[in-house]
Amino acid sequence: MNRVVSMKGWVRIFLLFLSIAMFSQDCVSQPNGKEESTTYDVMPTKLESLSLSTALVLDVVIPGGGHFYMGNVYTGYAFASLKLLFLYFIYYSYRDWEYRRSLYRSAQRANELIDPHHELEFELPEGGYNTVEDFRRDYDRAAQRITFSVVGTVAVYVISGIITYYSVEKYNAQCVPTFEIGHIPNMHETERIFSLSILRRF
């Protein structure tokens, strides 16, 4: 009976020493009671940014080019149509201005040669009659149409450029690289993972 009791005592002492040894090994592998951990870095994910200067140059040189460069197809078609239309207005207004100028100068010279003291009427190529003053008014109106066409064209180009500028800036603001930093503590029973996202603009 005493031997059985002594054997149980020795087993208890052995288990106690075994527990102390395992605890000491944990303390050595984890000094100061701190957990070992692994930290890793993942390569940043980043969208490809757009060149603002390229977008603006394309928008000026090619009608709607800046919007096509950004992938805004419908906006590009809309501004391309407006720009081509206003450019045609400039061309048409200039040709009409040249025509009205030639009529005015021809009528003015003819009036001075025939009767410089009276205002004569001259037949129009499209029908009807005009005086020199009428030809001058038509000539002035043609010049005004050129001015309006140029102003309208410049306004369309400016609006298109402003939209292109802010669209590129808005797109590039979304291209900030994202760094994912992971922290994994080494634990015996459970494993916890902490994730942190850092945004940084370059």
- pLDDT digits 0-9 by tens, 64-104: 899 999 888 999 999 999 999 999 999 999 999 999 999 99
Q: What is the pTM of this model?
A: 0.60
Residue 146, CA atoms < 13 Å, CB-side half-sphere: 15
Identify the CA nearest to 52 among candidates 156, 171, 154: 171
What pLDDT, on a 0 to 100 scale, did the predictor assign at position 147?
A: 94
Which residues make Cβ contacts (< 8 Å) with residue 65, sequence separation at least 6? 58, 59, 76
Question: How far apart are alpha carbons 126 and 123 in whole angstroms?
Answer: 8
pLDDT, tens digit, 9 for 90 and up, residues 15-42: 555 555 554 544 444 445 444 445 445 5
Let me know if 1 is exposed, middle or buried by CB neighbors in 10 A (0-12, 13-18, 19+): exposed
Could you give the 3-state DSSP secondary structure of residue 176?
Answer: coil
